[in-house]
Every structure is written in structure tokens, then in C-alpha cells.
């Protein structure tokens, strides 16, 4: 959600800016722009739409300059337009700025600046910051030949007045070798090069440009020049920072022969699941091991309740985790929407452990929910995919997914990796309590068979493609499952909504007759997730009820099941696996179904409308 890139050094800024913005496309955006310092002024180019439009507006000859800023915008204040696209100017053009986040008090600040004579050309909250910095420059003291300190003082004074979240990169017309980055609640990464320095929303634009990065923390500012960089706290002066290696493999962010990132990431799931389990299954003790929980077995043994919180797909994985933990570990679990938990004041017992689940590690609602529960003294852990992310830093400990970069907006491999990590946590908590050594060994063996089962599930691709052709024009699709496969139904429906724009709903199969059955007609297909298990007969009865009302039925079922095949209009075969691993295997054909339907409908699979990969605003 919005992307920032910035460069200062001896090289041409423009090439990095455009390439960096392309690598940030996965975050979701509706307009883009760059500002390059070309001698005495900034040359600013903006466009509405994709980066290709921006590249066309720039033309064949990139503006020449060794300092520049770039931005992709996801609209919060004002529609997608040339005026609202970043970068924004402050004062009479002496300040240029790009901004991620939301400024909650922007209207009050804007009214004050208008009274001072500042003119606004956009509807954004971001332009307010640019003018605010320009205004503070008027009052900043002279610094005896050290202009850096004067500009820094102006930025510190400006951000101190902001309420809300911001990731900022700021440059100045009259100081062409100087860049300031500031962060509160919206991620920023500094790339450390040789005679050149970079700033970006995440590490992906820096791959191939530098091998060393610094993650800024809240209330920190970075001052970048070609000669070096420094980091300081907004209120406390300079701070020491940890320069980390940039570990992302540039090949992981390429299509590698696939037509879309989403399809590539669906097919990467056998390997991403292996990576999630690597080094975490302990045969000798028949349990799972985690290095980052930062809690002793005795502390974890005392846990009496677990809260799992997340948003969207991560919330669905939390529902899977609820079934797993209660089944294997017998610990009561509550699943909370992070956006609701952050504003509720629920009674939480002392021996409650809170897990925040997120792919990006930057989801604003999940971060706020964890901070609120941590402020009240509860232990917080994160399950996330991005090392150094805000949630990873804010939590007391956690587990990384090791799924690799997920570029497609619709999460696939991160979801199955989250479910896999939750399965291992369920085993770990279960072995601390009542799960026997023999049962632990059995669960480990079943987990080890998961990558092969997912690989087998991928073999249904051609079959799914035929089903997609049949139902691509549906206006509503119902997804129905029981127990472990109820969250699978929710996730399947969400994937279809996200990338094909077809209305879809997921329900427990038995709940269909309590309302949703009114939607059933010959034009409304129902997807039944019906593997063999304890509720198989019940779901069969629900499927019969849909057929009795003329509704088309798509069934996800095991092979050699004539009973299902005699009722369903279409059957997609999935391998038989134990109940607690069914959500990981059974979601794969549903991901493929969404992908192929969206493709047939001409939708942008990797960048669906209105959505963002990393939701960093409320």
C-alpha cells in the first residue's frame, strides 16, 4: 500500500527510481510519480495508472540528476489524479516530499497553513506535510555553514506536529545532495552503498543495488548524503543502528517462466511449506522447536488461553489455528479481527498469549492490536514473513514463515505457510501438555508428507481450468465446508472475490439452510469441500439439498468416490490427508480456480483493483 523509493549518490537517480517503483507494484497503487533534481530545480513527472504510464510520460530520455524520489500512491485522501499523485511540493517549491500513511490531524494543520498564505493544489494529507516543512524552514535557526542541521531541524519540528502514521522521504531544492527519511508506523528501509544511499518502503527495490540495509524504527529519522548517513531519534539525538545483510534473492522476485506471480507462488507451495518446517521438527522429542518465541517451556506451559489476531487471509489462517490448537493442545483459543481488537477492551486473563498473524509484518490494524495488548502487559508473539518488519520488531518474539517474497496481492503461499506454522505450534503446545510421544511422532510424519500432498494437489490444474471455463460468468458463488474446511471455504471465497470480482461467500455447510440457501438457483454454483472425515455424511446431505433446488455443485473430494460423483456436476480431486492438514492441501485447487476464472474474465491477477498487498493504513 503506497511505495517509496529515494536515491542520493553519484549515479543517475532516475534508473533506480523507475526500477524500484516496478518492484513495489505488488503493494497496490493507482498513480505514480518521480522527482529528480536536475541542477537548480526538481523535474517532477506524475501519471495516473500503472508504472508503464509513468515510464511513457518520462519518455525516452530520463531526466538527469543524482538525487531523486519516487512514489506509488494508493488513494486515501482524494481520488487518483495528477494533482493528488506524489511527489508533492512545499512552499514555493523548496521542499519535495513523498509520503506513506495517514495524517489524522491534517485538516487542522491545513487550515492553519492556509491562513498563513499557503496554497494547496491537491486533496491529500501529504501536501500538508510538505508545506509544514517549508513553513518550519522559515523559522529554523541558521547553523553557521551547516545547512544540513537547519533542514533537519525543520523536519523534526514538522513531524512533531503530526498525528497519525508516516513514512517520509524529503529533499530540498537548494540542497541537492541531501535526503531525509522519517518513520512512524509506516515502514522505511535504508540501503547502505558505497558513495550512494537508498531509501525504500521495503527491501525489494534494493536487491542488486546494495547488500546492506538498515530498518528504521518509529520516531527515527535518517540523514543521507553521498558521503554517509546517520540516524537519530526525533527527540533524543543520534542513535546506533544495526546494519544488516540484505538476504533477499533477486531470483525470487522474478516470474521464472510463469505468466503471473500468483500462479508462480501457488506452485511454490511445496517448497515454501518445506521451508516453514525446515529445522523445526524434532524427532528425538516428537515435537516442534522454535528459536524465536523468547519464552521458556515453563512459561509456555502456563498459558491458559491463546488469542490469534489478523486481517483478511491471515484471519482465515487464525481460524485454522483455532481448530488445530484446540484439537491437539486442548488450549482455549479466540480468533479476533485485529481491526476490532485494537478498539475493544476485552477481558484478557494474565496467562493469555497473543499471536499476531501477518504476511507483510506491516498490517496497521494487526500492529496496533499487538501494541495495545502488549501495553496492558500481555505477552505478544508474531507469525510473519518479513524479517525486520514493524510487527516482528514490536512483538516479544515470534516465528518467521520463510516463504520468500510474495508478490501477488492475493496471498497463497504465505497462507499455507501460516497454517503449517500453526500446525507445528499446535504440536509444540500439545507435547507440553497431553500429546503422547507416539502421537507426536505420528503428527511429525503427517507434517512431513504435506509438501508431497500439495504437489499432488497441484496436478488438478488442468481439471480446474475446465471447471473455470464453465463457471466464469457466475455472479455469485457459495463455498461450503465443515470443521477444518470451514476456514478453507472462507479463504476460497475471498480469493475469488479478490481477483475475479465475483461475489462469493463462505459458510459452514450446515449453516446454508439458515439463510444462504435462498441464494441457490441454476445460476449460482456451490463449491463443496467434502473430504472423507467425521462430517462427511452431513456435508453429503447439504450437497443433496443444493441439488434438490437446481443449484450447480462443484465438489472437492477424494478420488474413487462414486457417491460424490453421482451428485456433483463437477468434481475436483484432492489427495486424502489427515484432518488437521486438510486446510493446507484443499485450499490449493481453490486458489487455482480463482486464478483461472480471473484470467478468463480478463482481470489483472497480480494487481487486482482497489487492493494493496501491505495494508499500512486503517
Active site residues: 2, 613
Distance, CA of 337 to CA of 24 (rounded, Å) = 27
Full DSSP string of 124-173 = -SHHHHHHHHHHHHHHSPP-TT-HHHHHHHHHHHHHTT--B-EEEEEEET
Distance, CA of 572 to CA of 569 (rounded, Å) = 10
CA triple 103-608-569, angle to 5 deg: 140
Residue 529 · residue 586 · CB < 8 Å = yes
Q: How far is CA 368 from CA 152, 184, 311, 344, 371, in A?
A: 29, 12, 12, 12, 5
For 517, residues 6+ apart whose C-beta sits below 8 A from its C-beta are 545, 546, 549
Task: Specify the pairing of strand 553-557 against strand 570-573.
Answer: parallel
Full DSSP string of 207-248 = TTT-SEEEEPPTTEEEEEETTEEEEEETTTEE-----EE---
Q: What is the distance between the terminal CA atoms of the chain, rounded to a whole angstrom?
A: 11
**306 phi-psi bin (left φ>0, alpha ψ -120 to 50, beta other):** beta
Q: How many residues make up the chain in this entry?
A: 618
- The CB density around residue 186, as the number of other CB atoms within 10 Å, is 27
Host H or E run for residue 301? helix 297-301
**516 phi-psi bin (left φ>0, alpha ψ -120 to 50, beta other):** alpha
- Phi and psi (nearest 5°) for 98? -125, 150
DSSP reduced 3-state for 615: coil
For 515, residues 6+ apart whose C-beta sits below 8 A from its C-beta are none
Amino acid at each position: 500500500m503506497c511505495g517509496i523509493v529515494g536515491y542520493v549518490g553519484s549515479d543517475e537517480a532516475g534508473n533506480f527510481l523507475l526500477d524500484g517503483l516496478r518492484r513495489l507494484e505488488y503493494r497496490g497503487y493507482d498513480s505514480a510519480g518521480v522527482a529528480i533534481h536536475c541542477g537548480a530545480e526538481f523535474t517532477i513527472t506524475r501519471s495516473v495508472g500503472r508504472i508503464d504510464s509513468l515510464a511513457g510520460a518520462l519518455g525516452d530520455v530520463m531526466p538527469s540528476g543524482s538525487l531523486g524520489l519516487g512514489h506509488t500512491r494508493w488513494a486515501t485522501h482524494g481520488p487518483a489524479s495528477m494533482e493528488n499523485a506524489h511527489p508533492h511540493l512545499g512552499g514555493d517549491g523548496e521542499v519535495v516530499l513523498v509520503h506513506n500513511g495517514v495524517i489524522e490531524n491534517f485538516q487542522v494543520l491545513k487550515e492553519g497553513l492556509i491562513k498563513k498564505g499557503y496554497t494547496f493544489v491537491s486533496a491529500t494529507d501529504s501536501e500538508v506535510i510538505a508545506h509544514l516543512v517549508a513553513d518550519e524552514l522559515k523559522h529554523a535557526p541558521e547553523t553557521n555553514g551547516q545547512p544540513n542541521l537547519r533542514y533537519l531541524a525543520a523536519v523534526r519540528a514538522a513531524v512533531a506536529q503530526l498525528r497519525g502514521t508516516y513514512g517520509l522521504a524529503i529533499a530540498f531544492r537548494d540542497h541537492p545532495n541531501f535526503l531525509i527519511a522519517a518513520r512512524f508506523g509506516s515502514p522505511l528501509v535504508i540501503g547502505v552503498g558505497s558513495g550512494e544511499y537508498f531509501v525504500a518502503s521495503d527491501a525489494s527495490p534494493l536487491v542488486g543495488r546494495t547488500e546492506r540495509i538498515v530498518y528504521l524504527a518509529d520516531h527515527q529519522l535518517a540523514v543521507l548524503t553521498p558521503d554517509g548517513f546517520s540516524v537519530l531519534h526525533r527527540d533524543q539525538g543520534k542513535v546506533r543502528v544495526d546494519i544488516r545483510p540484505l538476504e533477499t534473492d533477486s531470483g525470487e522476485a522474478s516470474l521464472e517462466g510463469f505468466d503471473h506471480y500468483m500462479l508462480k507462488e501457488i506452485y511454490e507451495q511445496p517448497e515454501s511449506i518445506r521451508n516453514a518446517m525446515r529445522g523445526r521438527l524434532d524427532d528425538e522429542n516428537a515435537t516442534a522447536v522454535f528459536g524465536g518465541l523468547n519464552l521458556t517451556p515453563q512459561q509456555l506451559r502456563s498459558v491458559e488461553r491463546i488469542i490469534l489476531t489478523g486481517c483478511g487471509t491471515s484471519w482465515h489462517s487464525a481460524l485454522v489455528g483455532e481448530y488445530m490448537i484446540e484439537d491437539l493442545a486442548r488450549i482455549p483459543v479466540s480468533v479476533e479481527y485485529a481491526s476490532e481488537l485494537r478498539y475493544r477492551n476485552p477481558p484478557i486473563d494474565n496467562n493469555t498469549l497473543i499471536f499476531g498473524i501477518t504476511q507483510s509484518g506491516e498490517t496497521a490494524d494487526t500492529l496496533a492490536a499487538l501494541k495495545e495488548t502488549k501495553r496492558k502487559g500481555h505477552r505478544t508473539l508474531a507469525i510473519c514473513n518479513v524479517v525486520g518488519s514493524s510487527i516482528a520488531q514490536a512483538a516479544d518474539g515470534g516465528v518467521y514463515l520463510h516463504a520468500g517474497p510474495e508478490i501477488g496481492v492475493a496471498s497463497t503461499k504465505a497462507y499455507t505457510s501460516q497454517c503449517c506454522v500453526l500446525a507445528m505450534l499446535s504440536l509444540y503446545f500439545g507435547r507440553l501438555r497431553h500429546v503422547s510421544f507416539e502421537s507426536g511422532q505420528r503428527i511429525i510424519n503427517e507434517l512431513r508428507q504435506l509438501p508431497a500432498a500439495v504437489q499432488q494437489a497441484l496436478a488438478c490444474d488442468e481439471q480446474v481450468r475446465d471447471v473455470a471455463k464453465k463457471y466464469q460468468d457466475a455472479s455469485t458463488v457459495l463455498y461450503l465446508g465443515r470443521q477444518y474446511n470451514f476456514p478453507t471455504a472462507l479463504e476460497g471465497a475471498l480469493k475469488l472475490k479478490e481477483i475475479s470480482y465475483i461475489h462469493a461467500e463462505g459458510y459452514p455447510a450446515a449453516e446454508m439452510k439458515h439463510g444462504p440457501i435462498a441464494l441457490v438457483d441454476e445460476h449460482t454454483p456451490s463449491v463443496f469441500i467434502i473430504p472423507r472425515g467425521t462430517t462427511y455424511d452431513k456435508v453429503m446431505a447439504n450437497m443433496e439439498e443444493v441439488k434438490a433446488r437446481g443449484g450447480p455443485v462443484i465438489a472437492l473430494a477424494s478420488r474413487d468416490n462414486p457417491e460424490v460423483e453421482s451428485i456433483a456436476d463437477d468434481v475436483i480431486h484432492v489427495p486424502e490427508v489427515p484432518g488437521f492438514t486438510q486446510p493446507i492441501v484443499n485450499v490449493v485447487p481453490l486458489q487455482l480456480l480463482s486464478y483461472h476464472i480471473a484470467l478468463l474474465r480478463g482481470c489483472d491477477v497480480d494487481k487486482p483493483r482497489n487492493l494493496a498487498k501491505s495494508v499500512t493504513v486503517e
